Structure 1
């Protein structure tokens, strides 16, 4: 495709891939149907699929998608393990899914591949717009199988943040050709570890080559962008540049950490990306965090950006995967000016600052956090470490303190850490109900700039957000 045609094909607006299930297939499909880039969150799709199947798959959407999986017997095994006709009873605990790990696990890989296929398939259904999937580089153990499932469904873009996605170009090349694909996995105290997938061995047959999606690296600095762009082996097709006010995780400030009077990280000039240097790399980029307005798109383009990525306005729209009650409450608080979103340096087990919306009854409240029994039964944010005997273990600062200490970490590392995995699942109505009757409370995240609501109707839809952001802009 000639360069001019490729540039014309880039979207002006990217819908952010938010949370666990917030940016689900309904939201991504609604945005893509407008011609802009709709994005599904690829985080923990294995557990969201498994739990929705256990709820009986209302509407039959997941079963419709799985009926189109290219190797039927694989999808049928997943359905056999998790689908419950009519759904489980209220308060019945969900069946667990295999946790991420370095050891090969066929059922785990099948579930991840099928889940990502289903989500992207449904997002692409019924329109010709572009659809992307968002992954966290930090969750390295999940990426090969998850990405392969998305490619099987014809995903157009893969967006990766929360790390340095230097190996993703090669991974996508290999997966598109159904070749065995691997990426490095960081193991504390060890080296040389990888996670991978052999598509032919998993599916039992070799399929025809797949289109290779465009790769967008999510970064917070021009330094990282320049590092990735320096070589064809690491170069993405473009960048999304997030400012510290964007929702979810954000990069910590550069240099010695400093907290303000409210206990939030202080960002300074060193944390501001040099947009001139970004533009000089010659790759398209989009700006995210505080750009969810018509003026934001104009500012981004004036700085040389192709467009903007917007999250929070979509997180609060009708097609969002957020629990409707929680979504309405967030919107009402934000519209009234009473919503505070704290950039909490301690909440996330990753050690990265994480935006926590302060809402009664959620894990943002200290009393709710203290009441929750500490456990790590999902483990997406666990980090591998090498034991004294050379074997690999896994630990998470949100697990029981004594367990973390036995694994070689200080007790203070666990202070104030929230279980993001369970909290974010509860936010989309898929929280676990324990055998003793305890129900997981939600954790809500949002961007810190609430100006995105100005001018939007009550109970707005995704198309309202797209129309408002593109208002007056040449697309």
Structure 2
């Protein structure tokens, strides 16, 4: 029997919402959520860094199919970690037909992240995926379900096909997912397929279907999900444009403020009466990270709130410690700055960028970077003139993008979020002797309000401090 949480901890970035943060939140009977983005890359980098805390080995030991786990350990673990001047190993980029090695890494890495988040308690744990990162979904979701994930959350697009995947795995059936392909003609085969029986030694385990929460920006989109999704949608996280990470573009004609940010207006406000009429549980996100915000959400008929920014600065989050200290010092001084960059993301969605020296928020740092696309999670699928499926990214070398039918206009201002977000957590790629990938830090507009979670005289706080402050139980905690 599920008891709906009052607080959902946002699934942030690449490894910011890691297993440590999710475990800390879930232990306190709120919903801890791990980020499901690029976990295959994170696994091999953690192993390549020597698995210093032994967590990856612990997760691999718990994986139900030891031969698969051992193959990964044997290939990617480096005792003591790689030398600082050596680059991390790269994986082949995801394709419509996933190579077996890559599928196994997705299964195992998602299992490990959820397993570790569930250690030491019996409370639900969730995982967050981005609809725009479709290629790893099938293997990744299976790995998370193997570990007993209780909630799957998905946004950054319209995740119509995800519920059927959960249904299929719970019924021990193969699953499919339709890939979004720009310019696809009707005869193009765009489906991806995954059969767990091809990867599992012995009989298929019985899995429990997790709850599915769609992350939406309007009640209209929520209504569409309820009518057209491939299976049951169990609820919604309703994000406003003040939330960190990717934001939905403004509805209607886009206008810009003096800083060059998109202006959101009345049409972008969520019709909460309409949300209530849908009859499904919903949580409000973006600017609700306070006790007052939680009370307001409950009064509006929400089941609670999703909070990201506050947890991203907590001691348990995966964000680099020096970035957390800088952001907190700026928040204490009331000078934190977050820019809604309309160009940074190759997806074309506005993307929140926090000002941190030495990161992509410094124009000269980005301009000094040579364009490289070697992770490829945000690539766009498109139909080639030959009728096949190709992949391109507006942040890759311009000549490459143009050769794939892209326009030069689409490349202006685009940044490599894949490498930048991995750099946020201290696993940046090394390129030669004098260049390491810079980070791109994303936070919500309410960054300065993070000071509310600090005890008097403190400069840091824990996930428990966030939860007790939001619930109004901090003094008695």
- Give TM-score scaled by structure 1 length: 0.96
Mapped partners of 1:185, 1:455: distance in 2: 42
- Which one is further off, 401-410 or 342-351? 401-410
Render the CA deviation track for 1:102-122: whole Å, top value 9, x for unaligned: 123100000010000000000
Question: Which residue does the alignment assign to 1:94?
Answer: 88
Contact 1:294 1:472 in 2 (8 A): no
Whether 1:212 and 2:196 are equivalent positions in the alignment is: no
Mapped partners of 1:344, 1:50: distance in 2: 31
Whether 1:46 and 2:40 are equivalent positions in the alignment is: yes
Q: 1:34 to 1:462 in 2, by over 3 A?
A: same
Contact 1:145 1:196 in 2 (8 A): no
Question: Which residue does the alignment assign to 1:281?
Answer: 278
How far does residue 409 in structure 1 lie from its aligned partner after superposition? 1.2
Mapped partners of 2:453, 2:76: distance in 1: 43
Whether 1:185 and 2:179 are equivalent positions in the alignment is: yes
Whether 1:306 and 2:303 are equivalent positions in the alignment is: yes
Render the CA deviation track for 1:300-348: whole Å, top value 9, x for unaligned: 0010000000001100000010111111111111221111100110010
- Which one is further off, 197-206 or 343-352? 197-206
Question: Which residue does the alignment assign to 1:160?
Answer: 154
Question: Which residue does the alignment assign to 1:120?
Answer: 114
Question: Which residue does the alignment assign to 1:428?
Answer: 425
Q: 1:132 to 1:32 in 2, by over 3 A?
A: same
Contact 1:15 1:311 in 2 (8 A): yes
Matches within 5 A, 1:46-65: 46-65=40-59
Number of residue pairs matched by the alignment = 467
How far does residue 267 in structure 1 lie from its aligned partner after superposition? 0.6
Partner of 1:374: helix, strand, or coil? Answer: coil
Matches within 5 A, 1:58-97: 58-97=52-91
Aligned with 2:16 (options 8, 18, 22): 22
Mapped partners of 2:172, 2:81: distance in 1: 35
Render the CA deviation track for 1:142-180: whole Å, top value 9, x for unaligned: 111111110000001000001111111111111223321
Contact 1:357 1:446 in 2 (8 A): yes
Contact 1:98 1:107 in 2 (8 A): no
Question: Which residue does the alignment assign to 2:338?
Answer: 341
How far does residue 234 in structure 1 lie from its aligned partner after superposition? 4.0
Contact 1:313 1:453 in 2 (8 A): no
Contact 2:453 2:466 in 1 (8 A): no
Mapped partners of 1:331, 1:85: distance in 2: 35
Aligned with 2:128 (options 126, 134, 140): 134
Mapped partners of 2:229, 2:253: distance in 1: 33
Question: Which residue does the alignment assign to 1:405?
Answer: 402
Aligned with 1:454 (options 441, 452, 455): 452
Matches within 5 A, 1:253-402: 253-402=250-399
Contact 1:46 1:111 in 2 (8 A): yes
- Which one is further off, 138-147 or 21-30? 138-147
Mapped partners of 1:83, 1:294: distance in 2: 44
Give the unaligned 5+ runs of structure 1: none
Contact 2:159 2:229 in 1 (8 A): no
Contact 1:92 1:433 in 2 (8 A): yes
Partner of 2:17: helix, strand, or coil? Answer: coil
Contact 1:166 1:235 in 2 (8 A): no
Mapped partners of 1:209, 1:234: distance in 2: 19
Partner of 2:352: helix, strand, or coil? Answer: strand
Question: Which residue does the alignment assign to 1:145?
Answer: 139
Mapped partners of 1:329, 1:271: distance in 2: 32
Render the CA deviation track for 1:73-127: whole Å, top value 9, x for unaligned: 0111111121111111112100111211112310000001000000000000001
Render the CA deviation track for 1:348-376: whole Å, top value 9, x for unaligned: 00000000001111011110000001010
Partner of 1:304: helix, strand, or coil? Answer: coil
- Give TM-score scaled by structure 2 length: 0.96
- Which one is further off, 451-460 or 84-93? 451-460
Contact 2:247 2:349 in 1 (8 A): yes
Mapped partners of 1:225, 1:401: distance in 2: 37
RMSD of Structure 2 on Structure 1 (CA): 1.3
Mapped partners of 1:353, 1:453: distance in 2: 26
Partner of 1:183: helix, strand, or coil? Answer: strand
Mapped partners of 1:260, 1:336: distance in 2: 25
- Which one is further off, 15-24 or 223-232? 223-232
Question: Which residue does the alignment assign to 2:411?
Answer: 414
Mapped partners of 2:303, 2:168: distance in 1: 28
Aligned with 1:203 (options 200, 203, 210): 200
How far does residue 437 in structure 1 lie from its aligned partner after superposition? 3.6
Give the unaligned 5+ runs of structure 2: none
